[in-house]
Amino acid sequence: MKITDLHAQNDFKPFGPSKLLVHESEFMKVINFNFKAGQGLPIHSHNLEGELVICVLEGEGFFLSDAGQTPCKTGDTLVCPIAVPHGVTATSDMRVLVTIAPPI
């Protein structure tokens, strides 16, 4: 059992996303990204089986897909096959938790 205080253990960086690998195992990968406004993960995909969850822990921005962008805020959760293009961009300081299963 492992407990992580994301607020204490991950910060914001002026020049790009701040990434904290929370957990990695045969079952899943869990990553916390902190974005300053304007930062994010460009739309991308991987030709692999599996799914990912992006949960907005704090802040506001947009979920990105081939269909365009969808506003998102604290408590919004995106579930997506890894093979389907996805991304996120922040319009305020934003913390997200990304869970990928199986891990890539």
Q: Does 77 bind a copy of itself (CB under 8 A)?
A: yes
Collect all residues with Cβ–Cβ distance below 8 Å to 71 and sequence separation of at least 6: 60, 61, 62
* DSSP H/E element including 40: strand 40-44
Q: Does 43 bind a copy of itself (CB under 8 A)?
A: no
Q: Does 42 bind a copy of itself (CB under 8 A)?
A: no
The closest of 15, 17, 45, 44 to 33, measured between CA atoms, is 17
CA distance 15 to 69: 23
* Least distance from a copy of itself to the Cβ atom of residue 85, Å: 9
Choose which of 7, 21, 83, 92 interacts with a copy of itself (CB under 8 A). Answer: 7
Angle at 67 (CA atoms; ends 94, 38), nearest 5 degrees? 25
Q: Does 75 bind a copy of itself (CB under 8 A)?
A: yes
Residues lying near a copy of itself in the complex (CB under 8 A): 1-7, 22-23, 25, 27-28, 30, 32, 49-51, 53, 55, 57-58, 63, 65, 70, 72, 74-81, 84, 86, 95, 97, 99, 101-102
